[in-house]
Amino acid sequence: MCDTNQGSHTHAHQHYCQQTIDPAAAEMLEKANREHIETTWDRFEQQKPQCGFGDLGICCRNCLQGPCRINPFGEPREGICGADADLIVARNLLRTTVGGAASHADHAYSAIHCLKAAAEGTAPYEIRGADKIGPVAAKLGISTEGKSTDELALEIANAALADFGNQTDEPMKWLTATASPALVETWGKLGVLPKNPDREIRTAMHQTSMGVDGSPINLLLSCVKLGLVDGYAGLQMGTDIQDILFGIPYPVKTEANLGVLSNDKVNIVVHGHMPEVSEKIVEWARKLEGEAIAAGAAGINIAGICCSGNEVLMRQGIPLAGNYLSQELAIITGAVELMVVDVQCFMPSITKVAACYHTKVVTTTPIGQLPDAEYLPFTPQNADEKAQEAVRMAIAAFAKRDAAKVQIPTHKSEAWGGFSLETIVQALAAVNAEDPLKPLIDNIVAGNVLGAVGFAGCNNVKVTQDQTTIEMVKDLLANNVLIVATGCTAHALAKYGFLSPEGAKKYAGEKLLGVLTAVGEAAGLGGPLPPVLHMGSCVDNSRIGDLLGALAGYLGVQIKDLPVAASAPELQHEKAVSIGTWVVALGVLTHVGVVPPVLGSPLVSQVLTSDIEGLTGGKFLVETDPHAAAQGILDHINAKRKALGI
Ligand code: BF8
Ligand code: SF4
């Protein structure tokens, strides 16, 4: 790492078009190469060829007799205990889904504790989303009469904790309070209604352990159940609680890509997922700006990576520095004083890259530590103190910045974020105040909006950064399909101007542009809405669920009947698998652009891409080619339109 011998460039003239389509990322890869800094793409090369058994999902290590491998072309057909390929693939898939659901449920659990502490007055968080309390209380059946904001927030936090403590056989309250009765009935008949998220996670780990479940189909049904744990104990609960604590997002304009880093300010990058941490860093960076100026900087600049970036973008207008595959590259600019991480999606490599510069890395949670980082254990109670400490570390690091090592790409694009369902309804209300969803529905019926697709998920080093996402979205927009996006795909689309009004003119089909312009102008934006609406972080995929529920409810149909689809073109994390499973459970066709490790089982592949449609109305579409994937989605949307008679 950071070998100062500048003599031997291994790939001096490489263009990095296999790695990324992002010119800022390519520029930093070139710098990394020049400075002999290893990135995730180098480590990917070292992993090649990746294990074929793992790739197909037919390797089992669930007991110490293993590892056992199945030969897809012959013997052995079974592991030592007799588990065959179908069983091993299904068991592995359930463990992956558990990993994702556990990540999101744990995220929501932290937010609940923070809200509870805020409501009890023991933590320095102001409850900024009082307008979210009414709707959440209403769906949970909590009466608001005569109660203060704090009392209601506490009651809602306790209702969430009650789901985590549910020892009865009743399903999770958050699920039955959110999903339509028809969906609850469908899931009830399948026996997949989760009761207590922690219990479901425990039971699924037990179910997949050696010598328990031998039924691949039963295991796949448990995948659906864990998808619902993710959807309601992770995404929905997380978003509801975070909106109450930090406020419902409203449209906000900012910028995206590495060019948002500043040459003359202290740069702090927030990375991870929990707004309890990133919101406090933003608050204290603003409050301590004077200290940065006194230290010779022009101020403090905050930028976000991954979903922390999405969280503070949509509520604070903080710019996005980059998505998952750009995290090391942000440090390689040489201009980052501090990277603050909390949980999920930060690479263990970041401290090694940071060691080549003056960059400090701060970890903040007991479960997310890095040996060479500074650990500032954040709690709701001490958040002010720890955030100040972190910001002061950044200010102190500024003096150590080495100008000779600084190279900030100039690339950045205008991007709008903060399109919660509440905001979308508000924008539509400018067209029809009495019946806000009517203009959207009318335009869908008239074919001006052919359908809608939600883009979600990550970058994955196996596919060129941002490419599949951008190519698919171009095809779909040209065909008048409205796009909503979250997570790292939202970052990707932000970087290339899809989240801006200009993007509508450039990419939207004529009919869609007409609708975006009419709504944007009525809502006072002075131009079209962006053709891709940024709905937030990965937990905010619940907002897409809310939108689908609202549209289906309005039309008096089921979500599975709508001309809609979902796509995770570059998924990498277990969370993307569990989210996708929830979306399929809702009845939505869900495209994945990276082949999940299931092909070793024809049975599991068949169920996920076909048979499950008969149970929930949704299924997975596996397609690595962006144009074929977009076409598959268009065919699906057209078929749904036809079935609706529109
Ligand atoms: O939760 S999209 S790489 S950052 S997992 Fe991670 Fe994937 Fe990015 Fe957000 Ni979501
Ligand atoms: Fe092998 Fe069965 Fe043990 Fe898995 S559970 S490692 S297949 S013996």
pLDDT at 14: 66
Regions of the chain short of the pLDDT cut 50: 4, 6-13
**Ligand 1 pocket, residue 492 CB under 6 Å:** no
Q: Closest ligand 1 atom to the C-alpha of 457?
A: 2
pLDDT at 11: 47
∠ Cα 293 390 264 (to 5°)? 30
pLDDT at 12: 45
Residue 256, beta-bridge partner list: 320, 413
Residue nearest to atom 7 of ligand 2 (CA): 79
Q: Indicate which ligand has the atom closest to the C-alpha of 84.
A: 2
Centre of ligand 2 to C-alpha 600, Å, is 16
- Residue 60 to residue 357: CA distance in whole angstroms: 41
Burial-class residue 607 by CB neighbours within 10 Å (0-12, 13-18, 19+).
buried
Q: Please state, in angstroms and as integers, the Cα–Cα distance from residue 124 to each residue in 43, 148, 379, 469, following that order.
A: 42, 18, 10, 39
pLDDT tens column, 307-349:
999 999 999 999 999 999 999 999 999 999 999 999 999 999 9
Q: Report whether 445 contacts 555 (CB < 8 A).
A: no
- Residue 458 to residue 95: CA distance in whole angstroms: 20
Q: Closest ligand 1 atom to the C-alpha of 573?
A: 5
Mutate to test the pocket of ligand 2, among 84, 88, 210, 212 (most ligand atoms within 8 A of CB): 210
- Residue 605 to residue 609: CA distance in whole angstroms: 6
Centre of ligand 2 to C-alpha 88, Å, is 8
Is this prediction's pTM over 0.95?
A: yes
- Residue 357 to residue 267: CA distance in whole angstroms: 13
Q: Indicate which ligand has the atom closest to the C-alpha of 461.
A: 1
Q: Report whether 219 contacts 93 (CB < 8 A).
A: yes
Please give the radius of gyration of the chain, using alpha carbons only, rounded to the nearest integer: 24
pLDDT tens column, 535-559:
999 999 999 999 999 999 999 999 9
